[in-house]
Amino acid sequence: MIKTLSIALLFLAFLNTNPINATEEKHQVVNIIIKGNKITKSPIILRELTIKKGEFIGLNEIKQLIIESRNNLTNTNLFNFITIEHELNNNELTITIEIVERWYIWPYPILEISDRNFNVWWDEFKSSNYSDFSRLNYGVFLNIENFRGLNELLMIKFRKGFKEHYLFRYETPHINNNKTFGINTQIEFFRRRKTYFQTKENELQYFEENDTYTSKEMLLDLELLYRDNIKTRHKLKFNFHRSNVNAQIPLLNPNYLQNNDSTGSFYKISYQFINENRDNNTYPLEGHYLEFEISKYFELKSPINHYEINSHLEKHIKISDKLYSGTSLRTRTASSNQQVYFATQALGFDDYVRGYEFYVIDGEDYYLSKTAIKYVLINKRNLEIPYIKKKQFSKSHFSIYATVFSDLGYTSNNTNYNENSLANTLLWGRGCSIEYVTYYDKMLRIEFSINKLGEKGLFLHFSSPFGETNRK
């Protein structure tokens, strides 16, 4: 019943419920004024507008177009505050956009947990009598957003600790004058002293040896982007993955690489389609989202040679001034039901059923449905922070929501399901939460949940309950 309702709500996302009155008097947009963009180039802002200079627009139309334009600018994640107003003078329209830019350069030290979520890390930390700090990561991270004022991203990471990570990434969403083509590149290196090599009783099993590195990984990514209109994006992705592990790991789990070797590698080609129609991609209250991706894996040293289809749908509805509903559905389907272990990550990592944060459920295929009802405790409230002169920080906002939720998940596992009771069975988690949302896409979720095993728990999360989505 819950699954059927979720899917029904999602399909409503693509119905047009806002017909335009064709007989309404039109007025010409003669000027678009932009204020506050000290760094961001004006064409980057104009690209996101559903209003164009020279167009003829009715007054009833303009209100909806302003809302859509504001949402588009919000979803660039470049601005803390956006105000769009219109003025009619002698049958001529002037649009004024005033923005408060974010701070774009973030050099900051890294001190973070290495586990899948805070509760898993805390459980391990508590079991060591609060003395084992080895599962922490530390380092430096340079993140330059809106590089050159062109919505480009430059990212450099140098991270040591439990899971070493070295990264370089560059994103440019526009490489042509029409701002329809872009390119993303990334190279990553990982090293681990403790490497999880199998899942048993729905928990990761780790291997370590004399404080040496037991696994190393290299990932290369190239993405070509095409944005034919404001709402839709197309991506053609090329990925290369190479993994080298301690010689004992394939012996402990022959399915880890399935090639009787300590080295595995493959490459993948994918096509991804995105349709973004949410009011805010970080914490949406209204709108819908569609993401579809088909991938083909190609064998190198790993016996991976299959197709994979991933989908992600969301629908968010305003019920009343203070009440909202949200529904999401994620699915993964693979053409092969026998895959190497490290390619079968399903639920418990980025995607999870709430209430099962301590568990990992592997599988080739899975679906995950999330439904939430949100009540506004404190609507978006702006505040001035005294003694701070920088506009990027002196003006902040926050909102607080009370939420009840219900999640359903199912993983199809054809390899090691006998050792993991949560695979090949319907998972249900439900509960309630308090969600604090503030500027710079930061949030805190305090959740109380119950799973079908009867286990209850209080969990902390720092990301959207519907998971991460593509932003560019």
Q: Which among 462, 456, 466, 465 is positioned nearest to 429, based on CA atoms?
A: 456
Predicted confidence at residue 2, as pLDDT, reads: 42
Residue 283, pLDDT > 90, answer: yes
* Placement of tokens 């500027």 in the chain: 439
Residue 385, pLDDT > 90, answer: no
366 near 467, Cβ under 8 Å?
no
For residue 194, CA distances in Å to 140, 190, 209, 217, 241 come to 22, 12, 8, 13, 20
Residue with the larger pLDDT of the pair 409 and 163: 409
279 token code pair: 């009011």
Per-residue pLDDT, averaged over 405-410, amounts to: 97
Q: Distance between CA 209 and CA 359 in Å, rounded?
A: 25
CB atoms within 10 A of CB 111: 10
The rounded radius of gyration (Å) of the Cα atoms in the chain is: 24
Confidence (pTM)? 0.85
Query: Residues 6 or more apart from 267 whose CB is under 8 A from it?
Result: 238, 239, 240, 241, 297, 298, 300
Report pLDDT digits (tens) over 184-222.
Answer: 999 999 998 889 899 999 998 989 888 789 999 999 999
Predicted confidence at residue 182, as pLDDT, reads: 96
Report pLDDT digits (tens) over 435-457.
Answer: 999 988 889 999 999 999 999 99
Predicted confidence at residue 315, as pLDDT, reads: 97
| Extended beta strands in 102-214, E state | 105-113, 136-147, 152-161, 163-172, 181-192, 195-200, 203-207
Task: Indicate the burial class of 141 (C-beta count within 10 angstroms; 0-12, 13-18, 19 or more).
Answer: middle
Reduced to 3 states (helix: H, G, I; strand: E, B; else coil), residue 413 is coil
For residue 271, CA distances in Å to 226, 236, 283, 291, 467 come to 11, 5, 26, 11, 20
Q: Distance between CA 371 and CA 408 in Å, rounded?
A: 9
Report pLDDT digits (tens) over 53-62.
Answer: 999 998 889 9
343 token code pair: 């390619």
* Mean pLDDT for all residues in the chain: 88
Q: Which among 159, 163, 135, 172 is positioned nearest to 41, based on CA atoms?
A: 172
* Placement of tokens 């096509």 in the chain: 271
Per-residue pLDDT, averaged over 330-344, amounts to: 87
Place 415 in a pLDDT band, splitting at 50, 70 and 90.
confident
Residue 113, pLDDT > 90, answer: no
Q: Distance between CA 168 and CA 299 in Å, rounded?
A: 26
| Extended beta strands in 319-442, E state | 323-334, 365-384, 395-412, 427-438
Which domains, and CATH codes, for the chain? 15-101 (3.10.20.310), 173-461 (2.40.160.50)
List the single range of 238-242, 273-277, 440-444 with lowest mean pLDDT.
440-444
132 near 162, Cβ under 8 Å?
no
Burial profile 186-200: b = 16 or more Cβ within 10 angstroms, e = fewer: bebebbbbbbbbbbe
Residue by residue, DSSP assigns 73-124 as HHTTT-EEEEEEEEEEETTEEEEEEEEEEPP-EEEEEEEEE-SSSHHHHHHH
Which DSSP category does 15 fall into? S
Residue 18, pLDDT > 50, answer: no
349 token code pair: 């990592």
Q: Distance between CA 257 and CA 249 in Å, rounded?
A: 9
Q: Which among 402, 401, 408, 439 is positioned nearest to 425, based on CA atoms?
A: 408
Strands lying side by side in the sheet with 79-89? 56-58, 26-35, 92-101, 79-89
Predicted confidence at residue 37, as pLDDT, reads: 94
Evaluated on CA atoms 115, 119, 124, 128, the torsion sign reads positive
Q: Distance between CA 410 and CA 251 in Å, rounded?
A: 30
* Placement of tokens 């990212």 in the chain: 155
Predicted confidence at residue 136, as pLDDT, reads: 74
- Please name the residue ranges forming H helices in 150-305: 248-252
Predicted confidence at residue 164, as pLDDT, reads: 85
Reduced to 3 states (helix: H, G, I; strand: E, B; else coil), residue 377 is strand
